[in-house]
Structure 1
Amino acid sequence: MIRVRARLVKRTAAAGALLVLLSGLALWGLERADRAYPPPLDASREMSREVVDRDGQLLRAYTTEDGYWRLPVDLEGVDPDYIKMLIAYEDRRFFTHLGVDPLAMLRAAGQFLANGGRIVSGGSTITMQVARLIEPRAKRSLPAKLRQMARAFQIERRLDKREILQLYLTLAPYGGNLEGVRAASLAWFGRDPNKLSLSQSALLVALPQAPEARRPDRNRDAAEKARNRVLERMREAGLIPPSEIVRASAATIPDGRRAMPDLAAHLADRALGAQPDDRKVVLTVDRTLQARLENLARETAPRLGPKLSLAMVLADGRSGKILASVGSTGHLDAARAGAIDMTRAVRSPGSTLKPFIYGLAFEDAIADPQTLIDDAPADFAGYRPRNFDRGYAGEVSLVEALQMSLNVPAVRLLEAVGPHRLLSRFRRGGIELDLPPGGAPGLAIGLGGAGVSLRDLVQLYTSFVNDGTALVLTDGAAGSFGLGDEPDIRSRQPVLDKQASWRVGDILAGVDAPQNSPRVAIAYKTGTSYGYRDAWAIGFDGRYVLGVWVGRADAAPVPGMSGIATAAPLLFDAFVRTGIKPVAFASAPPGLVVRARRDLPFALRKFGSGGETGGMSASASTPPRIVYPPQGARVALNARGPGRLTPLVIKLQGGAGPYRLIANGAPVQRPSRRKIINWIPDGPGASNLTVMDAEGRAASVSVFIDAE
């Protein structure tokens, strides 16, 4: 008996050892198979590329290479009630099973047998459905189901439950070329899935089971019945009150697909081209502002006339960030060449550069806003500018000349300050004008005789909200600073000094709004290019700068079009349409003195450049010139005592005495007929020196004084 028991023990031990060995071999084999044939999770993750605004709101999305809208999904961006409904309907034990739910499989098999081979409910878990989505099979079969079960176990080993759920919400089909709950929510309801109604949630739960048969745009009845079945299941489970079920069941099913967000198309295309490896690109654009200006562009298009387009750029002048950029009336508007981004097209700016000419004249102290100037026929070495209306205003103040955008006074001032110097100031603002063949700047650039883009003009005008310093515009795409960075303007040279910039802005703020336009507290300047090809209006308040261009993309003339009549009303409408609360203009900078004409020095009461041969008599002498110190010189002076330096010797040539020296905008001594002037600086640092002769002609240099 003892021997028999011993044999049984040995046999049992041997069998147990064999079972353990076989189990170990099986597990080893499964492990090897799992490693050798992993689920193709990475292959399933090609997503649509998207461009979003500064707050992460979708501006524009693009289909995948295979033509699907497949937008990535973050669980935090999906309505939690929808997720609860999905799990309750599709996979109640999702958070507890290991990929396969045996109870659900037995229930589905029993219902199948009890109903004569008709499928009543499926036994697939959400994990098994993910397995089917990453490895689609044309036909349902027992081997295919077994493969899904094996893949489900593999997926559960590699991903946690949140990742599996997120993958399902990204890949599930919702009809047509829609994959993922985010694309479906945008297409069927025109909203992101973070705030779905009960009816919408139920429909999105039902669609993936039969996405083509239940498409709302093709079979509304089937979609409605499927939605109501989901709602009824929620009622039976006690998850939703009956009153809410009744209300949701009565909600209307959408009868068509909505267009995907398609804002800032020109910016988006350029941004993705600049960052080809990025799936998501973040722009500085504000989605709400962009949508409002694009709506204005579309509404305005029929009133503009055939083939005319428009462009708008709105920038935060204190940061340089573009808040909205409208490149045309619509990028699909072929009749108006809408595919061309006219914010970047180089066109003649008309009179929009005039404010900078006046600013230079104020900075050089060769003129004051109240200085009189002649608007009369003039000949500048063969160049004979005329006003837009072909008439002349006679003697006017510089304030009036700029506000009326008179051409002859602007050319007189440009001759005095010099076209080369004006271009150098534009370069300080990061802008290079497109000059005519030969490249030599002439007086015509002051009236639009050069090329510039709307975006560059807006960049230049940011100087008026930054004490004269222009900020390089950025939209957040590659090659520019990021959304959280701020430009360092301290190291940049200003386009105009603070006082000159403020004076110009103050003058432009006094220009009347166009007739029948809303009253908005902005300063603005208009322009019309040669041949009526371009109409411009650039406006700003204490912070924001908005530019408007109207014209034909092919640069054909448009008789009757002008900046004041065509572009300016759009500028005012756009400012109102944005809903931005106007920001007050900055107060006058310290030290600036606003004087009446009677209080001006004699030489500033009336301007005379002396270079023209018509309208005003030309001087027989040459204009004055500062031969020492040269422009940009760094001069070392000895200190006489605390706060006192030895005089700087200023040497002149040409001109007609007596000469008046103006340092940093203020006269510093009585006029002198000598061509050598001694000036004692207040202290070390940068200084602007201007010498004006008896005929009002001036010469200026900028120097830096060092104390030894």
Structure 2
Amino acid sequence: MRFRRLKTSRWLRLAGALVLLWLAVLAADRLWPLPLKEVAPARVVVAEDGTPLWRFADAEGIWRYPVAIDDVSPRYLQALIQYEDRWFWDHPGVNPLSVMRAAWQDLRAGRVISGGSTLTMQVARLLDPHPRTFGGKFRQLWRALQLEWHLDKRQILTLYLNRAPFGGTLQGVGAASWAYLGKPPARLSYSEAALLAVLPQAPSRLRPDRWPLRAQAARDKVLQRMQTQGIWSARQVDEAREEPVWLFPRQMPQLAPLFSRKMLASSRDEKVVTTLDAALQRQLEELALNWKSRLPPRSSLAMIVIDHTSMKVRGWVGSVDITDDSRFGHVDMVTAVRSPGSVLKPFIYGLAMDDGLIHPASLLQDVPRRFSDYRPGNFDSGFHGPVSMSDALVRSLNLPAVQVLEAYGPKQFAARLRNAGLPLLLPNGAEPNLSLILGGAGARLADIAAAYSAFARQGKAGRLRMLASDPLIERPLLSPGSAWIVRRILAGEEQPLPDASLPQTVPLAWKTGTSYGYRDAWAIGVNARYVIGIWTGRPDGTPVVGQFGFISAIPLLNQVSNLLLARAASVKNGLPTDPRPPSVSAATVCWPGGQALPAGDSNCRRRLSTWLLDDSQPPTLLLPDQEGSRGIRFPVWLDEKGARVAADCPGAKASTLDVWPLPLEPWLPVSERRAARLPPASTTCPPLHQQDLIPLTLSGVRDGAVIKRLPGENRAALALQTTGGEGRRWWFVNGEPTESRGAATTLSLEQPGEYQLVVMDEAGQVATASFTLQ
């Protein structure tokens, strides 16, 4: 009985000791946890194919390229495990035989000369560096056991793949493969796999870019072991030995720096995978550097390339040269807010078509107009009178665009663009106004290019996909028909063609823009697969005289488009097509009414072939003040002889005459003007109004203006001009007539003070302006 009690007591003490030991292990694990997480880990931004674009080192300057086991060549894994730790998949983190052999060697030498380290123990040392002492070795063993306890073998191997030292600031096989070999670790040859497997043993002494002979000897040692163990065949090893170890100096990733910085803030991953095409990005950056010498001093440029079939950003150049501080190279102009100039005009024409306000052949009026203190003009400083919508878009005329925006509504226009991902930023919280269409609000190149994708995506504007994980999101902006029509106009294919003759692959459609004061030059293009956005100018907003879109940005746009199309033509599926939507049809309309008329109709003064959306033929869009007799539907009453009579005359018959809007009269042939188009008045029963006068308009000075003489000048010269009116002009300054009788005159004023200017035509119409000379 006593023996049994003693035996039970021993087992209880043993169990208690084991429990205490287990509690001690748990406590130690809690007190000294595995240091698996870094406060500021090394990160890398990569292209879609995995090519590193830019590295962001950790606090110690270490660069890593995170990989998983499946991202690494099986050849490398074979060489690594067979050479470093043959029993890696079987031991519990420590190989007892190797440890005992190393301990015997260390005891005999009185110091640590052999570690007997497994891969798990090497990972433990990488995570928690320790001195080469017996105490340090014990800590390494403890960390190795912790690793095996908390992680599985694949996780431990992954840690080694990403933490093993490869010389200098390189850690991990991914970073080493890209830096030394310029390729992903999944594509290693037998020779390269053996070389990278042995480098961590002595990374500084075996660096292949500095000590190629040492590295080759170490590599051959690994190759020999692989052959001896029967892992690789003799032929494979012999061919691998023939490859010399001679490498270029390490290359750090240096592509898309500004884009990479932006993407780093968009993701928390150590490896940020983007949608960029590394080869294309390299070509674009080289192209930008080649253009640098053509730019004015302190000027920069920006480019963005989007695959509109997927909305993936394939190229992003934020500045001409990130190292050039004189050109503000550190400023990303793809995301900078700038005045877009005229690049928004295609959107207003497409939206107005969808609203039934116009069609491509609608008659628009390129004539001088004033909106309170706002008096827009054209880039060429002239006016062109009657123009079609398609012609106004191709020639980028300002007044027709303002006319259409006025009819559509600036607030509605800004709201539609904002909803599609293109916010227009107005200064000081101002309300949307007519200046929007001429660059009176700020916008970003990235947003503009994304919105232009609607012209290639059946009217839906896609959101930019910059990270590989970004989903495809799109929002409706235009109808498929209006998007197709506008794109064809911008591509120079505004004239209708039969489907058999209509190119299914659309050539480059482009639009330029120049902001006020020549501060920004833009070119946005849409080819068969890509949207291309180009900006040039000075990032600080200083005007650059002579810089405008067609001269400064279009040549670069064409060069980028040709580069992209050459690449796309070699792709398996070729270039996408853009067939005519069912909602688009061909028709012939007449001016000035803007609608189809039968052959021989006298109201058809000019016939135009055009595309129509849903067979809609909206009448000519009038300006807000063009009502009644100033419109284009001119009611007349005719007697039996065809003469014009009053409505209450005996036998009067009502008729309708389509006439041109009065502001267009100065640009019309005499035979087309209203006076010539109207039938002669009856002498027996004349109409109440013999004619409608063309309004007299004064330009060159606005009412209430304050005019200052130039420094050093005693006089101020005012160039004045009138449009409209009838016959001669009489000019009066403060009630005193001048000698001029023409439609234009120049006043030379010397005395400061208040002035009143009056001009009168033969019909008695008067235009006035009061101003102050200082």
Aligned to 2:738: none
Aligned to 1:682: none
Aligned to 2:124: 131
How much does 1:77 deviate?
0.9
Aligned to 2:709: none
Q: Does 1:500 align with 2:482?
A: yes
Q: Does 1:454 align with 2:441?
A: no
Relative distance call for 1:586 and 1:328 in structure 2 (3 A) is farther
Alignment of 1:541-560 (within 5 A): 541=527, 544-560=530-546
User: For each residue in 1:359-384, what CA deviation from the matched residue of structure 2 results, as whole angstroms up to 9, or x when unmatched?
Assistant: 35544555443345565666666655
Relative distance call for 1:190 and 1:655 in structure 2 (3 A) is same
* 8 Å contact from structure 1 (residues 462, 469) kept in 2: yes
Aligned to 1:576: 562
How much does 1:78 deviate?
1.1
How much does 1:434 deviate?
2.8
Aligned to 1:475: 466
Aligned to 1:335: 326
Aligned partner of residue 584 in structure 1, secondary structure: coil
Q: Distance in 2 between the 1:379 and 1:253 partners? A: 73
How much does 1:520 deviate?
8.0
Relative distance call for 1:572 and 1:180 in structure 2 (3 A) is same
* 8 Å contact from structure 2 (residues 459, 480) kept in 1: yes
Aligned to 1:639: none
Aligned partner of residue 401 in structure 1, secondary structure: helix
Q: Distance in 2 between the 1:510 and 1:163 partners? A: 59
* 8 Å contact from structure 2 (residues 358, 620) kept in 1: no
User: For each residue in 1:466-492, what CA deviation from the matched residue of structure 2 results, as whole angstroms up to 9, or x when unmatched?
Assistant: 443434445359xxxx634544x4xx5
Relative distance call for 1:352 and 1:35 in structure 2 (3 A) is same
* 8 Å contact from structure 2 (residues 518, 544) kept in 1: yes
Q: Does 1:90 align with 2:84?
A: yes
Match of 2:178 among 163, 183, 186: 186
Aligned-partner residue type, residue 127 of structure 1:
T
Q: Distance in 1 between the 2:127 and 2:78 partners? A: 23
How much does 1:107 deviate?
5.0
Alignment of 1:201-600 (within 5 A): 201-249=193-241, 250-260=243-253, 262-275=254-267, 278-279=269-270, 281-287=272-278, 289-317=280-308, 320-363=311-354, 367-371=358-362, 385-390=376-381, 396-436=387-427, 439-476=430-467, 483-484=470-471, 486-487=473-474, 489=475, 492=476, 494=477, 496-510=478-492, 521-541=507-527, 544-578=530-564, 579-580=567-568, 581-590=574-583, 592-595=585-588, 597=590, 600=596
Deviates more, 1:447-456 or 1:226-235: 226-235
How much does 1:391 deviate?
5.4
User: For each residue in 1:236-280, what CA deviation from the matched residue of structure 2 results, as whole angstroms up to 9, or x when unmatched?
Assistant: 4343344544443442332422113x44443443344355x5545
Relative distance call for 1:29 and 1:148 in structure 2 (3 A) is farther
Aligned-partner residue type, residue 195 of structure 1:
R
Q: Distance in 2 between the 1:300 and 1:122 partners? A: 58
Q: Distance in 2 between the 1:364 and 1:96 partners? A: 73
Q: Distance in 2 between the 1:696 and 1:537 partners? A: 34
User: For each residue in 1:61-104, what CA deviation from the matched residue of structure 2 results, as whole angstroms up to 9, or x when unmatched?
Assistant: 42223332244331111111111111111112222223332333
Aligned-partner residue type, residue 49 of structure 1:
R
Aligned to 2:158: 166
Deviates more, 1:219-228 or 1:251-260: 219-228
State the number of aligned residues: 602
Q: Distance in 1 between the 2:189 and 2:180 partners? A: 13
**Contiguous gaps of at least 5 residues in structure 1:** 1-5, 513-518, 612-620, 625-652, 661-672, 674-691, 698-708
Q: Distance in 1 between the 2:586 and 2:555 partners? A: 34
Match of 1:36 among 22, 27, 48: 27
Aligned-partner residue type, residue 492 of structure 2:
G
Q: Distance in 2 between the 1:44 and 1:434 partners? A: 46
Aligned partner of residue 185 in structure 2, secondary structure: coil
Q: Does 1:80 align with 2:37?
A: no
Aligned-partner residue type, residue 346 of structure 2:
P
Deviates more, 1:385-394 or 1:350-359: 385-394
Q: Distance in 1 between the 2:283 and 2:64 partners? A: 27
Aligned to 2:625: 622
Match of 1:200 among 192, 201, 225: 192
Deviates more, 1:71-80 or 1:388-397: 388-397
Which is higher, the Rg of structure 1 or of structure 2?
2
Relative distance call for 1:182 and 1:319 in structure 2 (3 A) is closer
Aligned partner of residue 315 in structure 1, secondary structure: strand
TM-score normalized with structure 2 length: 0.67
How much does 1:300 deviate?
3.3
How much does 1:523 deviate?
1.1
Aligned to 2:748: none
Deviates more, 1:62-71 or 1:452-461: 62-71
Relative distance call for 1:355 and 1:155 in structure 2 (3 A) is closer
How much does 1:442 deviate?
4.7
Relative distance call for 1:15 and 1:61 in structure 2 (3 A) is farther
* 8 Å contact from structure 1 (residues 541, 583) kept in 2: no
Relative distance call for 1:595 and 1:290 in structure 2 (3 A) is farther
User: For each residue in 1:167-221, what CA deviation from the matched residue of structure 2 results, as whole angstroms up to 9, or x when unmatched?
Assistant: 2222222222222222222222222211212232222222222222333344444
Q: Distance in 1 between the 2:560 and 2:632 partners? A: 52
Aligned-partner residue type, residue 166 of structure 1:
T
Q: Distance in 1 between the 2:584 and 2:317 partners? A: 40
Aligned partner of residue 304 in structure 2, secondary structure: strand
How much does 1:106 deviate?
5.2
* 8 Å contact from structure 2 (residues 312, 466) kept in 1: yes
Q: Distance in 2 between the 1:360 and 1:44 partners? A: 56
How much does 1:136 deviate?
1.0
Aligned to 2:755: none
Aligned-partner residue type, residue 333 of structure 2:
M
Aligned partner of residue 501 in structure 1, secondary structure: helix
Relative distance call for 1:316 and 1:25 in structure 2 (3 A) is same
Aligned to 2:56: 62
Aligned partner of residue 511 in structure 2, secondary structure: strand
* 8 Å contact from structure 1 (residues 79, 196) kept in 2: yes
Aligned to 2:133: 141
Q: Distance in 2 between the 1:356 and 1:693 partners? A: 30
Alignment of 1:657-676 (within 5 A): 658=633
User: For each residue in 1:150-178, what CA deviation from the matched residue of structure 2 results, as whole angstroms up to 9, or x when unmatched?
Assistant: 44334333333222222222222222222
Aligned-partner residue type, residue 128 of structure 2:
E
Relative distance call for 1:393 and 1:453 in structure 2 (3 A) is same
Aligned to 2:673: none
TM-score normalized with structure 1 length: 0.73
Aligned-partner residue type, residue 556 of structure 2:
L
